[in-house]
Chains A and B, each alone.
Chain A
Amino acid sequence: KAGVTQTPRYLIKTRGQQVTLSCSPISGHRSVSWYQQTPGQGLQFLFEYFSETQRNKGNFPGRFSGRQFSNSRSEMNVSTLELGDSALYLCASSLAHTNNEQFFGPGTRLTVL
Chain B
Amino acid sequence: DQQVKQNSPSLSVQEGRISILNCDYTNSMFDYFLWYKKYPAEGPTFLISISSIKDKNEDGRFTVFLNKSAKHLSLHIVPSQPGDSAVYFCAASDPGGGADGLTFGKGTHLIIQP
Contact = CB atoms under 8 A, between A and B. Distances in A.
A104 B103 CA distance: 15
Given A98-B102, A99-B32, A101-B34, A43 B97 contact: no
Given A42-B104, A103-B46, A104-B44, A98 B93 contact: yes
A43 B89 contact: yes
Interface in B49-92: 49, 89, 91
Contacts of B46: 101-103
The listed residue with most A CB atoms (<10 A of its CB), out of B91, B98, B102, is B102
Q: How large is the interface on B (under 10, 10 to 19, 20 to 34, 35 or more residues)?
A: 20 to 34
Interface string B94-110: 00011111111111000
Interface of A: 4, 33, 35, 41-45, 47-48, 55-59, 90, 92, 97-99, 101-107
Contacts of B43: 4, 90, 92, 104-107
A106 B97 contact: no
B102 A104 contact: no
Nearest to A4: B43
